Amino acid sequence: MARDSDSPRPRGLRTRAVHGTTHLPPGAVSTPIVHSSTFTSASIDDMMHQQELGADGSFYQRSGHPTLKAVEARLADLDGAERALLFASGMAAIAAAFLAHLEPGDHIVALQQSYGGTTELLHWGAKRFGWEVAFADAREPDAIERALKPNTRIVHVESPTNPTLCIVDLARTAERTHRHGALFFVDNTFASPAGQRAIELGADLVMYSATKSIGGHSDLLAGVVVGPAKVVKPVWKARVVFGGIADPTTAWLIERSLNTLPLRVAAANANALTIATRLAANPEVVRVFYPGLAGHANHEVAARQMALGFGPVVSFELRDAAQAQAVVDGLGLISVGPSLGGVESLVTLPTLTSHRMLSPSERRESGVADGLVRLALGIEDADDLWADLESALARSRVPAAR
Ligand SMILES: *Cc1c(COP(=O)(O)O)cnc(C)c1O
């Protein structure tokens, strides 16, 4: 953890988001973007040395480059981890982590509620690489433990989950996973490094779609893996082999976004709690899914493990699909679109996006009702967001029978 030289007090997250651990020499405040696909050396011996240094060397852009290394150092420090790797997308990061740590015949336990791309990746790995995959229901406290087998190599979770905001007790799951001798992976995208300290809660490897809160401005695609050097090293190798590294411009944009990450996450999380509370009191709304509400099944666990509030995503259930569509189409300030963690609020219908491929009964079983709406809150004024929602809800009301 970063400390000022004259003080033993650990620096706060907002300071670390801006300064990282390094004191820059006088000069440029912003890391220069080095656009170079290759790096020259003074001699063949020096070039061989750079190549051997791997992630720490300057050899060829696919193995690492200066703009990327600067942001990776800041990302690792922010999560309290030894190493971080930046990828071209969240899926490139997650795929590299699995490819690095699974061999044919290895068993992986993931959640039924996993991100759609992750579920597809696991099915793909099962078919082509011989991974043995089990899906545990995040709503059942002991489902992960029951799914463990002698050959379980990885337990991979998300918390909160999409779109019904299930909460997994990360410290407890880490302890059970480690007792079993497996690695504990956390996709921490929904909470972000500012909102949930997954490494400190016991994760061996933490993954992010940096496309979401870390990037935060809906203008790039990126992914991150953080963890101890010995768990990250094989993931670096997978990144070199499969080539999913982030380019210099993306790396620089991520570094710039990190400066405001804790502020943006705190603002979006505060908006989400305000909106969830008002939705819960609205007569049109059947049910609200948000871990910040006292009625949520795992509210206490969420309060313990989420540092800056309960995340930017709120889902709510309306009477039926027709009302959900009418409300979403009736919004003005809040635009229709997938994704989350940007400065602007977005809304989507999970039945038509992430859960489109499931049958209605499979959807109901996973808790995704026909009238479910998913809101991803941005950093706008909560009263403006609520005015938009409230009027769309009022216009969707069935006229009272006379
Ligand atoms: C978006 C997302 C991903 C995939 O990230 P991309 O950057 O789109 O590849 C993975 N996990 C979660 C939880 C996500 O929300």
How does pLDDT run across 322-365, given as a tens digit for each residue? 999 999 999 999 999 999 999 999 999 998 888 887 788 888 87
Instruction: Enumerate the H helices of 42-89 as residue ranges.
Output: 44-52, 66-79
56 carries an active-site annotation: no
Does position 292 have pLDDT exceeding 80, yes or no? yes
Give 356 Cα–ligand 1 centroid separation in angstroms. Answer: 17
Q: What confidence score (pLDDT) does residue 348 get?
A: 97
The pTM for the full model equals: 0.95
Residue 256 has pLDDT above 70, yes or no: yes
Please write the tens of the pLDDT for every residue from 78-109.
Answer: 999 999 999 999 999 999 999 999 999 999 99
398: CA distance to ligand 1 center in Å?
37
Per-residue pLDDT band for 10 (boundaries 50, 70, 90) equals confident
Distance CA(402)–CA(381), nearest Å, equals 38
Look at the chain and count its residues. 402
Place of tokens 């990828």: 87
Query: Encoding tokens for residue 115?
Result: 């991100």
Give Cα 358 to chain centroid, integer Å.
23
Average pLDDT of the chain to the nearest whole number? 94
The answer, yes or no, to whether residue 9 has pLDDT greater than 90, is no
* Residues 118 and 110: beta-carbon distance below 8 Å: yes
Residues in contact with 124: Cβ distance below 8 Å, sequence separation at least 6, in sequence order: none
56-79 mean pLDDT: 95
Please report the atom of ligand 1 found closest to the CA of residue 212.
1
CB of 171 closer than 6 angstroms to any ligand 1 atom: no
Ligand 1 pocket, 116 CB below 6 A?
no
Residue 297 has pLDDT above 60, yes or no: yes
**Catalytic-role residue among 69, 212, 264, 374:** 212
- 310 φψ region: left (φ > 0), alpha (ψ -120 to 50), beta (else): alpha
Closest atom of ligand 1 relative to the 91 alpha carbon: 9
Distance CA 98, CA 12 (A): 32
> 382-395 and 321-329 are packed helices; what angle lies between their axes, rounded to 10 degrees?
130
Query: Containing H/E element for 385?
Result: helix 382-395
Q: Does ligand 1 have an atom closer than 6 angstroms to the CB of 212?
A: yes
Q: Considering only 2-16, 159-173, 219-233, which range has the smallest mean pLDDT? A: 2-16
What does the pLDDT average to over 32-42? 95
pLDDT at site 401: 54
Q: Which residues, listed in sequence order, are joined to residue 87 by a DSSP beta bridge?
A: 223, 245
Largest separation between any pair of C-alpha atoms in the chain? 89
pLDDT at res. 398: 78
Own/partner pairs, 320-323, CB within 8 angstroms, 24+ separation: 320/370, 320/371, 321/349, 321/351, 321/370, 321/371, 323/284, 323/371, 323/396
In whole angstroms, what is the distance from residue 298 CA to residue 91 CA? Answer: 28
Task: Read off the pLDDT of each residue in 302-315 and give the average, rounded to a whole number.
Answer: 97
* Alpha carbons 398 and 382: distance in angstroms, whole number: 26
Q: What is the model's pLDDT at position 2?
A: 45
The angle subtended at Cα 140 by Cα 128 and Cα 291, nearest 5°, is 105
> 112-144: string of b/e by CB count within 10 Å (b at 16+)?
bbbbeebbebbeebeeeeebbbbbbbbbeeebb
Q: Is the pLDDT of residue 20 over 50?
A: yes
Cα–Cα distance measured from residue 323 to residue 320, given in angstroms and rounded to the nearest whole number: 6
Candidate from 125-129, 171-175, 273-277, 357-361 with smallest mean pLDDT: 357-361
Strands 223-227 and 205-209: what pairing? antiparallel
In the three-class reduction of DSSP (H, G, I as helix; E, B as strand; rest coil), residue 26 is classed as coil
196 pLDDT band, cuts 50/70/90, is: very high
pLDDT over 70 percentage in the chain? 97
DSSP state of 196: -
pLDDT at 5 over 90: no
Q: Please provide the distance, in angstroms rounded to a whole number, between the alpha carbons at the two ends of the chain.
A: 67
Quickly state the pLDDT bin for 402 (edges 50, 70, 90): low
Measure Cα distances from 356 to 128, 323, 339, 372 in Å: 24, 18, 16, 12
Is 187 annotated as catalytic?
yes
Q: What is the pLDDT of residue 64?
A: 95
Per-residue pLDDT band at 1 (split at 50, 70, 90): very low
Res. 25 pLDDT band, cuts 50 70 90: confident
**Rounded Cα gap, residues 20 and 77, in angstroms:** 6
Average confidence (pLDDT) over 196-217:
98
Single out the catalytic residue among 77, 106, 187, 388: 187
Q: For atom 4 of ligand 1, which residue has the closest CA?
A: 90
Say whether pLDDT at 69 is over 80.
yes
The predicted pLDDT at position 358 comes to 79
Q: Is 359 helix (H, G, I), strand (E, B) or coil?
A: coil
Instruction: Give 210's pLDDT tier (boundaries 50, 70, 90).
Output: very high
Tell me the C-alpha to C-alpha distance, in Å, between residue 15 and each of 10, 217, 282: 10, 21, 39
90 CA to centre of ligand 1 in angstroms:
5
